[in-house]
Amino acid sequence: MNATTAEFSFAEMLDANERETGKWQSWFERQPAELFDLPLNIALAKNVREFLLHVFAVELRYAERLAGSAITEYESIPTGSVAELFAIGEKARALYRDYLARATDEDLAIVMEFPIRTLGVLRASKRKMFAHAMLHGVRHWAQLATALREAGHGTDWGHDFLFSDVMM
């Protein structure tokens, strides 16, 4: 897939996702482990750990759908440490990179039907599924940054896309 300079490519979206997630991982590695147990009420998560699981499980399960792989059971995903949680996202991004390397316009137009945990069965093109997975993370990272800042755990970098080093 090639993009003109007037287009925001899926590869650039994935790159921005990966870089922002890397900053979060570095930040969490410097925080006390108890922060994972900080109460939250976002995306049905009761705490930060469950929230991170939600973000990464969505990324992984959509990547698996695009790759044609078996879908990992939500309950089977390890969540004990920063490394375990962020490894879920690393696995997902590797699947997305592999998928984008071979994706064609025809493949991206394929409509799939699939169950989701909260709303039953949905239908969407692979193109829409990829965009959703990337935007889902952006939205939730912003919610997490706000919740953590309000709880006295502000991060040390700007989260807006403009502050990223993707594009110039």
Q: Name the more confident of 62 and 9.
A: 62
Residues 40-48 have a mean pLDDT of 93
State whether residue 72 is helix, strand or coil.
coil
What gap in Å lies between CA 135 and CA 133, rounded to an integer? 6
pTM of the model: 0.90
pLDDT digits (tens, 9 = 90+) for 113-138: 998 888 889 999 999 999 999 999 99
Task: Find the mean pLDDT for residues 92-110.
Answer: 96
Percent of the chain with pLDDT over 90: 76
Segment 146-168 mean pLDDT: 87
Distance of CA 150 to the CA centre of its chain: 22
What integer is the mean pLDDT of 154-163?
85
All structural domains of the chain, each given as residue ranges with its CATH number in brackets, are 10-159 (1.20.120.450)
pLDDT at 8 over 80: no
Q: Which residues of 16-35 are buried (b: 16+ CB within 10 A; e: fewer)?
A: bbeebbebbbebbeeeeeeb
**pLDDT over 50 at 58, yes or no:** yes
The two tokens of residue 7 are: 């287009």
> Which of 34-38, 79-83, 143-147, 157-161 bottoms out in mean pLDDT, i.e. has the lowest?
157-161
Amino acid letter at 162?
L
- The C-alpha atoms of residue 54 and residue 52 are separated, in whole angstroms, by 5
Place of tokens 């490519």: 9
Q: What is the mean pLDDT of the chain?
A: 91
Q: How far apart are CA 91 and CA 102, in angstroms?
A: 17
More confident residue, 32 or 163: 32
In DSSP terms, 42 is beta-bridged to 45
Q: Is the pLDDT of residue 98 over 50?
A: yes
